[in-house]
């Protein structure tokens, strides 16, 4: 037992998500689930939602983990829920966690009878007939799904047919979740040890029964647990207030979004959903009528706090404001009624928290007790350090523990030991790639979307998902609402590791993110081969001129991002003293907004580029003089480059997935001489001079494939082709469009509107949609619309021609009009003379005939009027249906299952 943990009984995992939503996306993602998710966010309830649209039959290990780390499960049963094996597998895992960890389950029956779910009737029966055929070799799995549905449907839940409107249902469900979150005790197995004591003491300071407005400060060092306390207080008290707002990690949010936006967001939430806080006297009057709960976490600047809160008198009676800060003086300056100090954990609580991370139990294994006590002495009761050290030592041998303790002893002997020296042990235990991933996140990616960060790291050649999972296991990062969360102290530790690489010369460090450091390196041309990444907002740096050989010695540079942050309209502050001679061939990610050169340096070999993004380039005319081979390129973005006249043959980038060329107003042609099998997104909106687009690909057969061609006014040739013709449309204009076969006008595919380009004067337009398998792909004309005013213009032209012709004839023969009228009457009615005689005998004869006809055909009068105005009206109606709108051209078509073509 001394060498391993083989006999340890695994206790419940740590809670990372408040709620896990189980649902079938096609039924509810864009309606009920989107409304529920928005309300959960508004109430600051962290919900895990699987964002992947394309899903297989088996759920991933990451999803298994997310289910285990969620406290409440919401099951949304819809009409076609049972057809998804993914949903059924999730359901089975959820019920296992309910039984194993005593978790709460909330069923929601969305437009489906609970009895149908319980007994698997109707659509559920059809779905299970299919499952039994598909899994006949594993029929026990199907029986397990049936049992899970029966059990889940027997739990008391919410029926959408009984509670209307939908908004009321969503509100009731969220309030139910809040009640369950607030009533459930914060137990030891969640890793939040001793928090009940903190909450009880803070509640006593809040004087919740008093009608007065009270402001409470929570003060303590970094890593002590202030954010956790703030979140738990919010969930416990939120139902007692009319409206609420919770800002977590305030310093980070202010840096990312700006303090004005954060203030508007908080005040808008307090006004219960208003998207803009006008600051008008009426807005403040509304606030004064409302009892609010406002919690601001991690605000360490007095001016910022003053701006965020404003005058406390603006809030309604009984309101409570809670602010956490590392700086006690900030809370004193704000005149907090009480300041609560969060002290370090005592020995017993420290031992419990450490044991949960190191042993997955409430107590250490007996043979490790002596080593555990030593670790606690170094962690000094700081929760962040206890979690980090416990995660580092979990599952390791006694010898490994002793080795790590020796490192801690060395740190203790330093004259000024800091907490990040203790945290650094977790970093030291990573392999080289994991260290690179950690440092990249600490320096560049904290707070960004997890998916975007993973894509960036993958582009740099790392195994992003594996590496990030290791960082999560070591408590170095976490994910909240899809974004990377890293504690301030851990980020500071990572950035300090980089700074220590060369304290006095930033040009010899691996990563540059500080504006002053980058300015020094660029201005004095101090960049060395140690530099791997540079990230700079080019609107925030002082004016700096680059030398022709600025990047010459940066042989290991893999990421160079000179970007313009949103909201900045001014030009780049980075200039060229002379044209760049080269860029490092090692570059994998190159982003340079407002690139100040007509083309990329001729000596630059871009074979390693994965992403090339150069937006808002006013000078750029072309990428290279000659086409370059770009085997690794996945993303090309040259949008808003107004002088760009050509791009290379895209066949040189066989792995390209995204092409963005929006508003390249001088670009005439986009083409590929080879087939692009991975192309998923093509945006050419605003390319007003584009005449030809020819890209052989299967983009429109992809579920997420998208082509956008808004405002391509003179497009003549548009070709998207594969191997075998299915549908070809030639000469598409307002004058002619070949009729599609009747079988192509039907189908059960979803359709998107393909809204379009101005093509009224271009009869040469050519559309090609070519695809190999007719059974999986089709383009169906669902609706063709006529240009507003087009028919009217044609009628006016005809009238003018007729008027001229009449005038000429009248000059030759003055009685021509009278004679022609008589002739027309005779043609229309050969028995005219006979009828006139009959009318003299019986004046009401015609009236009687009309009444007889009307009794046979009630709509006779309407039809006769239409025929008088236009004898060929039925024919014209049919032609109108088969026309395409030309001045604002669009065809509504079915293209695969969810692909979009936007013209």
Contact 899, 752 (CB under 8 A): yes
Residues with Cβ within 8 Å of residue 123, at least 6 apart in sequence? 79, 80, 82, 83, 116
Contact 639, 615 (CB under 8 A): yes
Give the pairing type, strands 766-770 and 752-755.
unpaired
90 is catalytic: yes
Nearest to 895 by CA among 770, 730, 711, 784: 770
Contact 448, 477 (CB under 8 A): no
Nearest to 236 by CA among 287, 196, 267, 188: 196
Distances in whole angstroms, Cα of residue 778 to Cα of each of 478, 703, 736, 748: 44, 13, 21, 11
| Given 39, 46, 90, 269, the catalytic residue | 90
Residues with Cβ within 8 Å of residue 319, at least 6 apart in sequence? 213, 214, 241, 290, 291, 292, 293, 294
- Give the pair of three-digit tokens for residue 149: 């549905």
- Give the pair of three-digit tokens for residue 293: 């709960």
From first CA to last CA, the distance across the chain in angstroms is: 68
The DSSP result for 347-381, as a single string, is HHHHHHHHHHHHTSSSS--GGGHHHHHHHHHHHTT
Strand partners for 776 = none
Q: Coil, strand or helix: which one is 503? A: coil
* Residue 198 backbone phi and psi in degrees, to 5: -60, -45
Distances in whole angstroms, Cα of residue 347 to Cα of each of 391, 406, 462: 19, 22, 41
Sheet holding 890-895, edge to edge: 752-755, 890-895, 779-784
Contact 390, 361 (CB under 8 A): no
Give the pairing type, strands 320-325 and 292-296.
parallel
Report the distance separating Cα 313 and Cα 889, nearest Å: 57
Nearest to 697 by CA among 677, 718, 719, 727: 677
- Give the pair of three-digit tokens for residue 856: 């046979």
What DSSP state is assigned to residue 343?
P
Report the distance separating Cα 466 and Cα 63, nearest Å: 14
Residues with Cβ within 8 Å of residue 781, at least 6 apart in sequence? 740, 744, 745, 891, 892, 893
What DSSP state is assigned to residue 623?
S
Alpha-carbon dihedral sign for residues 343, 349, 353, 359: positive
Report the distance separating Cα 720 and Cα 699, nearest Å: 8
Contact 233, 294 (CB under 8 A): no
- Give the pair of three-digit tokens for residue 831: 């028995």
- Give the pair of three-digit tokens for residue 615: 């937006």
- Give the pair of three-digit tokens for residue 855: 């009794």
- Give the pair of three-digit tokens for residue 459: 């582009």
Contact 160, 109 (CB under 8 A): yes
Nearest to 444 by CA among 484, 481, 416, 407: 484
What DSSP state is assigned to residue 739?
P
Distances in whole angstroms, Cα of residue 339 to Cα of each of 227, 271, 301, 319, 325: 15, 27, 16, 17, 10
Residue written as tokens 């024919």?
A: 875
Strand partners for 322 = 216, 295
Distances in whole angstroms, Cα of residue 791 to Cα of each of 735, 756, 863, 874: 12, 20, 21, 16
Q: What angle do CA 689, 693, 699 make, to 5 degrees?
A: 135
Residues involved in catalysis = 90
């Amino acid at each position: 037992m001394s060498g391993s943990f083989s006999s340890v009984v695994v206790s419940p995992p740590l809670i990372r998500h408040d709620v896990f939503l189980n649902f079938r996306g096609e039924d509810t993602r864009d309606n009920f689930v989107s409304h529920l998710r928005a309300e959960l966010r508004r109430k600051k309830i962290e919900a895990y939602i699987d964002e992947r649209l394309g899903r297989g039959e088996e759920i991933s290990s990451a999803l298994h983990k997310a289910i285990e780390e969620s406290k409440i499960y919401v099951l949304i049963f819809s009409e076609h829920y049972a057809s998804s094996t993914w949903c059924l597998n999730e359901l089975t895992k959820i019920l296992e966690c309910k039984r194993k960890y005593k978790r709460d389950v909330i069923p929601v029956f969305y437009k489906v009878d609970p009895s149908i779910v319980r007994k698997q009737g109707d659509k559920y029966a059809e779905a299970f007939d299919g499952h039994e055929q598909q899994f006949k070799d594993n029929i026990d799995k199907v029986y397990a799904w049936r049992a899970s549905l029966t059990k889940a449907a027997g739990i008391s839940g919410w029926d959408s047919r009984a509670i209307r409107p939908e908004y009321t249902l969503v509100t009731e469900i969220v309030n139910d979740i809040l009640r369950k979150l607030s009533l459930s005790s914060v137990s030891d197995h969640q890793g939040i040890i001793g928090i009940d004591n903190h909450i009880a003491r803070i509640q006593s300071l809040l004087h919740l029964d008093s009608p007065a407005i009270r402001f409470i400060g929570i003060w303590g060092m970094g890593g002590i647990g202030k954010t956790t306390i703030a979140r738990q207080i919010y969930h416990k008290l939120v139902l007692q207030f009319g409206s609420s707002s919770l800002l977590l990690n305030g310093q980070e949010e202010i840096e990312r979004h700006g303090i004005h936006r954060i203030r508007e967001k908080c005040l808008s939430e307090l006004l219960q959903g208003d998207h803009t806080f006008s600051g008008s006297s009426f807005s403040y009057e509304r606030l004064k009528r409302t009892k609010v709960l406002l919690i601001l976490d991690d605000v360490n600047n007095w001016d910022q706090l003053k701006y965020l809160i404003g005058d406390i008198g603006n809030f309604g009676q009984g309101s409570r404001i809670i602010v956490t800060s590392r700086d006690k003086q900030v809370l004193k300056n704000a005149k907090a009624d009480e300041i609560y100090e969060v002290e370090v954990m005592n020995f017993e609580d420290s031992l419990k928290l450490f044991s949960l991370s190191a042993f997955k139990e409430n107590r250490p294994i007996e043979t490790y007790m002596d080593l555990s006590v030593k670790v606690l002495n170094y962690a000094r009761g700081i929760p962040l350090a206890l979690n980090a050290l416990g995660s580092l030592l979990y599952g390791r041998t006694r010898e490994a523990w002793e080795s790590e303790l020796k490192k801690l002893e060395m740190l203790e002997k330093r004259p000024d030991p800091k907490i990040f020296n203790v945290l650094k042990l977790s970093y030291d235990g990573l392999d080289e790639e994991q260290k690179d991933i950690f440092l990249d996140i600490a320096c560049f990616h904290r707070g960004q979307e997890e998916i975007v960060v993973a894509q960036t790291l993958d582009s740099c050649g790392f195994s992003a998902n594996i590496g990030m999972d290791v960082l999560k296991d070591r408590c170095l990062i976490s994910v909240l609402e899809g974004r990377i969360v890293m504690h301030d102290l851990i980020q500071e530790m990572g950035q300090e590791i980089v700074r220590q690489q060369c304290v006095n010369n930033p040009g010899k460090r691996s990563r540059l993110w500080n504006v002053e450091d980058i300015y020094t390196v660029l201005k004095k041309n101090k960049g060395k081969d140690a530099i791997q990444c540079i990230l700079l907002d080019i609107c925030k740096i002082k004016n700096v001129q680059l030398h022709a050989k600025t990047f010459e010695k940066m042989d290991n540079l893999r990421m160079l991002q000179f970007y313009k942050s949103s909201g900045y309209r001014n030009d780049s502050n980075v200039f060229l003293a002379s044209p760049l001679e080269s860029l490092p061939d090692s570059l994998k990610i190159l982003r340079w907004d407002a690139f100040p050169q007509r083309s990329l340096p001729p000596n630059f070999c871009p074979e390693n580029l994965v992403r090339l993004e150069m937006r808002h380039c006013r000078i750029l005319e072309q990428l290279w003089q000659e086409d370059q081979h770009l085997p690794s390129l996945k993303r090309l973005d040259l949008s808003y480059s107004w002088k760009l006249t050509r791009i290379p043959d895209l066949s040189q980038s066989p792995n390209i997935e995204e092409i963005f060329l929006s508003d390249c107003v001088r670009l005439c042609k986009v083409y590929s001489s080879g087939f692009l099998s991975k192309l998923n997104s093509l945006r050419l909106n605003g390319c007003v001079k584009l005449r030809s687009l020819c890209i052989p690909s299967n983009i429109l057969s992809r579920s997420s494939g998208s082509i956008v061609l808004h405002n391509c006014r003179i497009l003549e040739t548009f070709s998207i082709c594969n191997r075998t013709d299915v549908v070809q449309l030639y000469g598409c204009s307002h004058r002619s469009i070949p009729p599609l076969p009747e079988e192509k006008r039907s189908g059960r595919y979803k359709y998107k509107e393909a809204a379009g380009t101005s093509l009224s004067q271009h009869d040469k337009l050519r559309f090609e949609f070519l695809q190999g398998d007719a059974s999986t792909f089709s383009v169906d004309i669902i609706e063709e619309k006529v240009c507003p005013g087009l028919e009217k213009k044609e009628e006016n032209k005809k009238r003018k021609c007729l008027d001229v012709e009449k005038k000429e004839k009248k000059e030759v023969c003055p009685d021509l009009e009278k004679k022609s009228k008589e002739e027309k009457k005779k043609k229309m009615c050969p028995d005219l003379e006979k009828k006139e005689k009959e009318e003299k005998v019986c004046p009401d004869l015609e009236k009687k005939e009309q009444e007889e006809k009307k009794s046979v055909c009630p709509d006779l009068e309407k039809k006769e009027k239409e025929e008088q105005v236009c004898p060929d009206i039925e024919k014209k109606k049919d032609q109108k249906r088969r026309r395409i709108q030309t001045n604002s051209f669009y065809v509504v078509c079915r293209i695969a299952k969810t692909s979009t073509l936007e013209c």
